[in-house]
């Protein structure tokens, strides 16, 4: 016989009829923690976004380039106002810092509006809505083995437009809507996802993005021209360009930043001016949806008014559509996720030595 030690449940714990633990005594602050705080919709938002200020600010989860964009604008403009403006005011006019300040404020405000606003996110279908759409799709399919099509066709300005089904949002996307893989949202009039502003660019913030790009091109050109004028005036009188750079070393950094960024910013401004005049989006232009790249016979843009002025007014001056996700709204009590039940306490374990167990042949 061999001694063997094992764990056995205490039989006294099994014989007790009451298995629920006794609640702790009520403290002085327990009366205040009765009903739970109502939760807002942004707290359970399914997309890959971050919310701040109780849902008032929405940005993409991957918004690490936004501080770089804001930092370049602040540093370059700050150096211009500190090192170049005093000399230009003394030798030219006092309007230079006023114009630069107005452009700087316009750039920063339009950038923040683009980055912190809802681009036009479409709410996902509820389980009941998704089930109803699935029934409609199944009923529209044939009796063969082939699955029913996941597209619908509508007519816009006498032209057929296909609506694609989004498997993530469980709905047919509205016209000009596309699903952003980075934010994991369907965005109405989706233009593109811009990492420089840290957000998608869509129907509700495209006008802010366009104002940001155009005003930034004016600001960059203005600073670039003023810095060259500053260095030219300092180098006059036989001092030379080297002496001017030594007296104002910050102007070198401004020249480098403006020189390498002005070309891309001006090109981007011209490209989006063409899109606004044509009532197109970057996504539609790249895919060639209405330019005949897909070989369609009737490939005209059904959303264009065939007038540059009307297209610009429709894109930039139309009424601001409301946000559809209602991120600051409260969840109904029945839709709140239930609280996890408390884990039951296991009965205590006691160690017991048993010499009657056979541990091996004797």
Rounded Cα distance, 283 and 244, in Å: 47
- What is the spatial distance between Cα 172 and Cα 187, in angstroms, rounded to a whole number? 12
Helices 95-115 and 66-79 pack at an angle, to 10 degrees, of 170
**Mean of pLDDT values over 31-60:** 80
Read off the pTM. 0.78
pLDDT at 176 over 50: yes
The pLDDT tens digits for 198-242 are 999 999 999 999 999 999 999 999 999 999 998 888 888 667 777
- At 274, list the tokens: 């063409």
Q: How far is 334 from 113, CA to CA, in rounded Å?
A: 35
Residue spans of beta strands (DSSP E) within 107-255: 151-156, 159-166, 171-172, 178-180, 185-187, 192-194, 199-201
| pLDDT surpasses 90 at 135 | no
Indicate if the pLDDT at residue 108 is higher than 90. Answer: yes
Residue linked to tokens 């300005």: 157
CB–CB of 222/281 below 8 Å? no
Q: What is the pLDDT of residues 138-175, one digit of tens each?
A: 776 554 545 556 888 889 888 888 899 999 998 999 99
Residue 250 — very low, low, confident or very high, per pLDDT cuts 50/70/90?
confident
Q: Are 176 and 315 in contact (CB under 8 A)?
A: no
Helices (H), the chain: 11-14, 66-79, 85-91, 95-115, 127-140, 206-234, 241-247, 250-278, 282-287, 308-316
Query: Which residues belong to the active site?
Result: 194
Q: How far apart are CA 152 and CA 162, in angstroms?
A: 6
Q: How many CB atoms lie under 10 A from the CB of residue 198?
A: 24
In a 13 Å sphere around the CA of 233, the CA atoms on its Cβ side amount to: 16
Q: How confident is the model at residue 189 (pLDDT cuts 50, 70, 90)?
A: very high
* C-alpha distances out from residue 342 to 20, 48, 306, 327, 345, Å: 11, 31, 65, 31, 9
Q: Tokens 């006023």 map to which residue?
A: 98
The DSSP 8-state label assigned to residue 25 in this structure reads P
Supply the pLDDT for residue 54: 85
Q: Are residues 218 and 107 in contact, defined by beta-carbon separation less than 8 angstroms?
A: no
pLDDT value at position 104?
97
């Amino acid at each position: 016989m061999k001694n063997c030690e094992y764990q056995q449940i205490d039989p006294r714990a099994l014989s007790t009829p009451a298995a629920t633990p006794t609640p702790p005594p009520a403290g002085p602050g327990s009366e205040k923690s009765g009903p739970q705080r109502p939760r807002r919709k942004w707290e359970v938002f399914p997309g890959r976004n971050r919310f701040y200020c109780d849902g008032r600010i929405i940005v993409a989860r991957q918004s690490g380039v936004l501080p770089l964009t804001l930092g370049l604008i602040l540093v370059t403009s700050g150096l211009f106002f500190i090192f170049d403006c005093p000399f230009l005011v003394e030798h030219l006019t006092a309007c230079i810092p006023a114009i630069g300040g107005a452009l700087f404020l316009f750039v920063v405000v339009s950038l923040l509006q683009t980055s912190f606003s809802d681009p036009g996110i479409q709410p996902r279908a509820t389980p009941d809505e998704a089930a109803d759409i699935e029934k409609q799709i199944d009923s529209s399919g044939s009796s063969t083995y082939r699955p029913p099509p996941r597209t619908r066709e509508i007519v816009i300005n006498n032209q057929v437009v296909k609506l694609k089904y989004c498997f993530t949002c469980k709905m047919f996307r509205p016209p000009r809507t596309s699903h952003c893989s980075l934010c994991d949202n369907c965005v109405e009039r989706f233009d593109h996802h811009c990492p420089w502003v840290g957000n998608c660019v869509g129907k509700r913030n495209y006008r802010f993005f366009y104002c940001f790009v155009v005003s930034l091109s004016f600001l960059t050109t203005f600073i670039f021209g003023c810095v060259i004028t500053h260095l030219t005036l300092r180098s006059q009188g036989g001092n030379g360009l080297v002496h001017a750079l030594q007296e104002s070393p910050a102007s070198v950094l401004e020249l480098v930043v403006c020189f390498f960024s002005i070309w891309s910013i001006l090109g981007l401004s011209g490209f989006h001016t063409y899109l606004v005049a044509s009532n197109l989006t970057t996504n539609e232009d790249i895919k060639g949806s209405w330019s005949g790249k897909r070989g369609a016979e009737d490939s005209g843009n059904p959303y264009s008014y065939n007038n540059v002025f009307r297209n610009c007014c429709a894109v930039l001056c139309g009424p601001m559509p409301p946000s559809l996700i209602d991120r600051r709204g409260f969840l109904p009590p029945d839709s709140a996720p239930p609280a996890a039940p408390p884990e039951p306490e296991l009965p205590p374990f006691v160690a017991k030595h048993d010499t009657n167990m056979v541990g091996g042949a004797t």
